[in-house]
Structure 1
């Protein structure tokens, strides 16, 4: 598993970690049922506080992306990923609205914005052999 955090970014480290783990799941790099490093181990590997990793894991567990077992440790959800919920659609809309506004202010066309979104979505799925949900 390859995780790269930007320590200079304004985006909190736990958010960066969550985003990269979700991308790993989406791309197929992280498979259902696959064990993840322990909180302590991942924190040491990334050179960050173990509470940051713990927060990321707990939030991903709450969202249904991970399971935490006493004996097995942290694993990628083996029983199917969370579906599209109203809360997720609202989060998506807020995020896209902010990006669309900045895109418009910077003078990028709607088609260029849509093409960038499409390209990124497809890039993530290429590791899964083009499989789309």
Structure 2
């Protein structure tokens, strides 16, 4: 698993880790049932605190992306990913509202904002399972 953290970013490390694991699942790089490194191993590999990795894994478990087993360790949810819920849609609207406001303040047109959004979405899932979607 390839994780690249920006230690100078204003985005907390645990959030970067969560985002990159979700992107790995979305792109198909991480498949249902795939094992992830243990908290200790990933922390050592990335040179970060194990509590940071633990927080990321726990958030992903709560959101339904991961399962944690005593014997199997941490694995990508094998029983299907969580669906779109009302809470997810509200969180998405909040984040998009913030991004749209920042884009508008900088003079980006609505069409350019929509094109960028489509491009990011498509690039995230383009190589999923080796297929073009």
Q: TM-score, normalization: structure 2?
A: 0.97
User: SS of the counterpart of 2:35?
Assistant: coil
User: SS of the counterpart of 2:79?
Assistant: coil
Aligned residue runs from structure 1 range 113-124, under 5 A: 113-124=113-124
2:51 is aligned with 1:56: no
Report the counterpart of residue 16 of structure 1 in structure 2.
Answer: 16
2:36 is aligned with 1:36: yes
Aligned residue runs from structure 1 range 1-133, under 5 A: 1-128=1-128, 129-131=131-133
Q: TM-score, normalization: structure 1?
A: 0.97
CA distance in 1, matches of 2:45, 2:116: 32
- The 4+ residue runs of structure 1 with deviation greater than 6 A are none
- Indicate the RMSD between aligned Cα atoms, in angstroms: 0.6
CA distance in 1, matches of 2:70, 2:30: 20
- Structure 1: where are the runs of 5+ without partners? none
CA distance in 1, matches of 2:3, 2:132: 23
CA distance in 2, matches of 1:76, 1:126: 20
User: SS of the counterpart of 2:127?
Assistant: helix
CA distance in 1, matches of 2:38, 2:6: 21
Number of residue pairs matched by the alignment: 131
- Structure 2: where are the runs of 5+ without partners? none
